[in-house]
Structures are given as C-alpha cells and as structure tokens.
Structure 1
Amino acid sequence: MRLSRCCTHHPGIVGSTERHHFYSDHKNSAETCKLIDQLRRQYKGYRRIYLSWDAAPWHSSEQVLSRVEFFNDWAEHDEVPRIGDIALPAQAQFLNVIESVFSGMARAIIHNSDYATVVEAQTAITRYLEDRNRSFAIAPRRAGRSIWGRERVPATFTVTNNCKDVRYR
C-alpha cells in the first residue's frame, strides 16, 4: 500500500495548506492521472488548481502531461479548473514542503505503531490528514503551524529549509 499525496493551491486562498491523498498499490503515471482527475472533479467551479510535486518520473511522464493537456482543453466545457503544476527541481526532495507534513504524520501515527491491518493504518492516516485540513479550514494560516506541531521544520518554502527528515529516506 502506498499513499499518493498531492498538495493543491486553491484560487483565491493564497497559501492554502489543504492536502489530498488516496491509497494506491502503485506509484505510476496511471495513478497520478487518477489523482488529477479526482482533484479536478472535487474543485468543479474553480478556475485553476496547482499541483506541487517532486521530480518523480511518473509526475512528468508523457502520459501525465498529455492527460493534463487534454483536461485543460476541456476545462471550460466541463466547468472544472485548469491544472497548473509547480514541479520541484530534480534531486531537491528536501525542498518539498509536504515532506514536513508527512514527516510529522509518520512520527505521530506510523513509527512505533502496531496496526493489525492495512485498513487500520489507512484509517489513522486519513484521520490525521482530515483533522489537519479541518483545522486549517477553520483557522486559515500559513503552513508550518501544524495542529500537532510535530513537523520537522515549519512547512514553508525557503532555500535553507530542509523539509525531508533525514532519518527516514
């Protein structure tokens, strides 16, 4: 089981910190396309969403780029947002702000845990992310002031901010 993750920026909400995820047995272009389609349907009525991701090959594959182009060509007709992406440089995973959130989640609910089933682990992950999103929806603020405060570093972009926990590479 892999957790696919995506950070979206909501038009009109500068610096939105909402995180979206789904569970997948594979990390590949087809799964990335599924996530993108899920997001465009979820934000029907918005003009644009931005996807932020690292340099994993499936994020910039021909299949994904073609699908995004197809989606964008139909965006106005389908009344769904156009999709933009904010790709991080290759070999710079430590700049990925979402790594700070996921490092905090890993320490809070995964490390030293003893879930009896994959479903129990997925339930805990989902609850963590839903609680985090709900907290930011109720009291919007800049990323980094997590509801638990367990992120390795503040989840904000700076050149010197190493968001990836070096102990869990």
Structure 2
Amino acid sequence: MIFHCVRSANNIVQDTCKKFVADDGRLNFDFCVKSLGSDSKSHEMDLDGLGLIAVKLLDANYTGTIEYIKQLQKQISEPRLLKALSLCLRVYNFLDIKELIPVYKAKRHADAGMLVSAVLTNEETCDTQVSRTKGMVPPLTKHNADIYQLSGIALKIVAILRERAKGM
C-alpha cells in the first residue's frame, strides 16, 4: 500500500503527460514530461501545482519570445521577414500575459483558460505569418513550437481544474 502511494506520487508528471498526449496527439510527451518535471518538487505536486509550473513556463517563454523577436528585428534586413516579425511582435505584445500567473493562483480557471487560449491564438497567427515568407527559414519555429506545447499543457490542466471546481 505504501509503495503504491509513493509510486503514484512519483509518476504524476508522466501519468498527466500520458493522458494529455492521448487526448491531443499534437502534444509531445517528452516535452510535457521535461516541462512539468523541470521543478524539482513537481513529483510531489498535485495537478494544481503542475498547472502553476506550466503557466510560469508559458509566461517565461512568451516574454522571452517577445525579446527574441526584438533582437531579430535588429539583425535582419530582409523586408518580408521584417514585416512578418513586426506582425508577430504586435500580436504578442497585444496580450498582457503578466496577468496569467495571478489569475491562475486566484483559481479563476475560466479567465486563465481565456488567457492561455489567447496565447495559443497569438502563436498560431505568428507561426502562420512567418512561415509564409517563402524561401526563408522561419526564425521563430522553436519558440512558437514551445509556446504551442506549453499552451496546450496549460489549457488541459485549466480545463480539468475548472471541471473539478464545478463538481464541488
């Protein structure tokens, strides 16, 4: 009995990621495990704690991508790519993601879900715009992919927590 409890606690990250990948084949299991497991205490957390890890990582990646776009704009001279990067920067800057962590911590799951959905929409808009610059290697592919994955993970967690809160 004790072994089972310890085993369950140690596997929460992997079990959660398996469920998410089974529900949405676009999510990457290894990315999910690495992300949610990035906090040394993640294996002791419940789903709410894993969600906090996800939204913190999403916030950091989103903010980092904005800074990366600004750096690229200084280095790139190709007009079509500059135009695409400018659109991405406008799209990313439009959303005030600084509210995500406080909203999540306040257990305002519907609001957190809307913010994460907006992040996902921004990523898709930017990714589409930059990938249209034919003949060039899209410079935001990795950043956009990470934001997509983190958004998907956070959305899954928020949706589960929202459903649990309704059932109480």
Normalized against structure 1, the TM-score is what?
A: 0.30
Greater helix fraction, Structure 1 or Structure 2: 2
Normalized against structure 2, the TM-score is what?
A: 0.30
Greater strand fraction, Structure 1 or Structure 2: 1
